[in-house]
Homo-oligomer: A and B are copies of this chain.
Amino acid sequence: MLINGERKKTIDVTDRGFQYGDGLFETIEVCNGQAVFLDRHLDRLQAGCDRLHIPFPNREVLCFEAATLIQQSSFQQSASEYLNQAVLKIIVTRGSGGRGYSPPDLIQPTRVLSLHPFPDYPSAYQEQGIIARFCDTRLGLNRTLAGIKHLNRLEQIMARSEWCDPAIEEGIMLDSNDHVIEGTRTNLFYVKNNSLYTASLAKSGIEGIMRSIIISLASEHEWRVIEHTFSKDDLMSADEIFVSNSIIGIWPVRQIAGNYFPVGIKTRQIQAWLAQFKHRTLSASGHSSVPLIAGVPIGD
């Protein structure tokens, strides 16, 4: 773990990330020593910082620290599980100081980079799909905070606490107007009459990196992609449903609230395109997505 470049595990209790959830985070797959789609994650982090008026930390420093963490873990025998697949988490907060909610004149952001074991998901989730449920906890509407991956995550925590059945892998969340938005930790898509639908995230939800890649891939292949507002009933009339995020990729949803859905050819097609796209992206950026020479990152 690296906190502002230092190897430590604690932060100051005055950090506004702790006091108010005043910050942002990214959760990134690490595959064969490469942080997958790192540029896209840093772009989103930067967009989130812009929205919250937090100065974005130096991008090359973030890349360098990510590469350092990944490289060092690959030298640790005890952490050999990190070699193939791991999760890199980056947190950026507004740092300490200020008077109540008012930030200090000079903001010194805190950055925390940490590496975690890759979750041990059954391969069946990707192949046969998962069971999901609808959550009672609602997502509030807030244009200022919609889309970005900020640290105020109590809505998701309360939604996730609604069930403990291990057979249910995701909870689908509605907003306060009863529109379907996303999963507790995934974006949600459905296929109907050969078109691909996902929720408009102008007022709530997180614009996932995987979501944007899926939309791009589908559009490139001339699918009709529609970001709109839809209800539970609209979703229940879908031909296929799937969820996505940067760690799981794409999981078909085979059951929600007692309704069964097939793992259809559109979902399989998108999964295949995503696998190809990820392979091409990783190959293009070489063995390490952040090549190091004597500890100095080359470009980005």
Interface residues of A (CB under 8 A from B): 1, 3, 9-22, 25, 52-53, 91, 94, 99-103, 112, 114, 119, 136-145, 150-161, 176, 184-185, 203-204
Oligomer: number of copies: 2
Q: Tell me the bound Cα distance from A139 to B11 in angstroms.
A: 29
B residues near A137, Cβ cutoff 8 Å: 142, 144
Q: Are B20 and A13 in contact (CB under 8 A)?
A: no
B residues near A160, Cβ cutoff 8 Å: 100-102
Q: A9-B14, A20-B154 are in contact. List 18 more A-B contacts (CB 8 A).
A: A1-B13, A10-B12, A15-B18, A19-B25, A19-B153, A20-B156, A21-B151, A21-B152, A52-B157, A101-B185, A102-B160, A137-B142, A138-B141, A138-B143, A140-B204, A150-B154, A152-B153, A152-B154
A119 with B99, Cβ < 8 A, contacts A18-B17, A21-B153, A142-B138 known: yes
B residues near A143, Cβ cutoff 8 Å: 138
Q: Closest CB-CB distance, A88 to chain B, in whole Å?
A: 14
A154 with B21, Cβ < 8 A, contacts A101-B185, A160-B101 known: yes
Nearest chain-B residue to A94 (Cβ)? Answer: B157
Q: Tell me the bound Cα distance from A155 to B148 in angstroms.
A: 13
A-B contact pairs, 7 of them (CB 8 A): A3-B13, A15-B18, A16-B157, A137-B144, A140-B142, A151-B154, A176-B203
The list of the 10 closest CB pairs from A to B, nearest first, reads: A140-B140, A21-B21, A152-B152, A10-B10, A20-B153, A141-B176, A101-B160, A140-B142, A18-B18, A101-B156
B residues near A11, Cβ cutoff 8 Å: 10-11, 13, 18
Q: Tell me the bound Cα distance from A119 to B99 in angstroms.
A: 9
B residues near A99, Cβ cutoff 8 Å: 119
Q: Closest CB-CB distance, A83 to chain B, in whole Å?
A: 22
Q: Are B101 and A153 in contact (CB under 8 A)?
A: yes
Q: Tell me the bound Cα distance from A204 to B156 in angstroms.
A: 17
Nearest chain-B residue to A163 (Cβ)? Answer: B102
B residues near A14, Cβ cutoff 8 Å: 9
Q: Tell me the bound Cα distance from A85 to B112 in angstroms.
A: 36
A9 with B13, Cβ < 8 A, contacts A52-B158, A141-B141 known: yes
Q: Closest CB-CB distance, A271 to chain B, in whole Å?
A: 22
B residues near A3, Cβ cutoff 8 Å: 13
A20 is contacted by which of B10, B151, B204 (Cβ under 8 Å)? B151
A13 with B145, Cβ < 8 A, contacts A102-B160, A103-B161, A158-B52 known: no
Q: Tell me the bound Cα distance from A184 to B102 in angstroms.
A: 10
Nearest chain-B residue to A154 (Cβ)? Answer: B152
Q: Tell me the bound Cα distance from A15 to B10 in angstroms.
A: 9
A176 is contacted by which of B91, B114, B176 (Cβ under 8 Å)? B176
B residues near A94, Cβ cutoff 8 Å: 157
Q: Tell me the bound Cα distance from A155 to B53 in angstroms.
A: 13
